[in-house]
Structure 1
């Protein structure tokens, strides 16, 4: 299978804090990979590096054949200008823990902002797509509502639809259910299950171990800035080989 995401020896520091310590990972096109591990182990930072929200201190990440944050000419790398960086970032949809919806905009306006401003699409292209996505996540009747009028679970489903509205080739989910009340988690996970079934490439940081076991193709266990163990989801979750993975899974069960 073709690698859509390729990370090689990714390092990230915040001053003296060494957050990512040589992370290597490949994600094939159409694959769902869940990242699990304790809080502070580097999972979310890794996603932010993929989406160009953080600069790397060392190593490289490729999306397809393009290095993240750079343009390659021969053997030389040149930093992208802001416009090109935004264009490349639009190929990646990202869903955050706290929704990050624009509170002064309606649901429909939230969905259509990026296609209109970043991609320069006409309303005849993006409006039908936005309405179809709201229907897909079960919120067709909320197009003219504002985020404050929605539950947390509804806001997160809007956030997923918004990320999909730019027709990304990759979806990143950063603990998308951790800020939700328990009774709202199921609806969001169901939307994610349906999305995975369409063949969308997904990288998911999650503490929902059941979701990871049932939906992911592979699971990577992070600990202290490193991937300690990676493999098929059922094998990692049901029969982990590394003692740190075993201890973590025992703690969350």
Structure 2
């Protein structure tokens, strides 16, 4: 609880005018990246694919050891002008993007996707995918036996490339086997929002992410309206570690790489429906 109060106090400090250093700019080449202390190397494609990927098929523990994704925010402070947009594509899928920019530099690019109401797996209909457990479900699906990638890999790898190039529009690679959403949703929604990012926003973003112990991380975001000097929105979530063994409570280890707010089964398992901040 003390950690949560510290995060809130830091956000309030920003509103009153103080500054803190932001996380280092990410570095990437055409097929590698580092995120949340894990190094990734992808088989990449420069265009769209048919979703098929030839290669060795992995299953069971060997597959689990080889698959890695991390949708949780990185530890640190992100500030800047705030932009958000969404795009309906491919018959009811919704791609979303959050962009934070300051001094002509991208400080945050964060994608998500919402499944359509008629999604073929009804338990995932009309749900977000980044930290809901959807990627965990993908790992259990035979479609990823050869690709070893999830939609979260597509999101985060594209985010890294955009941050490194400091551009929302350009030539970007996709992890092989995960290009459908990237080409059809994430790149187009980024292109859609790009002209707005070139202009000042009335909304200012202050986001702080910290480790809060027991294999959990918290992010508090305050979006501040500069024009009328009011708080436009407050967003809080807690995220579980990428490694289930790092989560102290064994009953919560099933939610590794997920967040409390978005995890599909979190409320049913824990009987927790809301966060108590104060």
Instruction: Work out whether the TM-score is over 0.5.
Output: no
| Bigger relative CO (Cα 8 Å, ≥ 6 apart) | 1
The structure that is helix-richer by fraction is 1
TM-score scaled by length of structure 2: 0.26
TM-score scaled by length of structure 1: 0.27
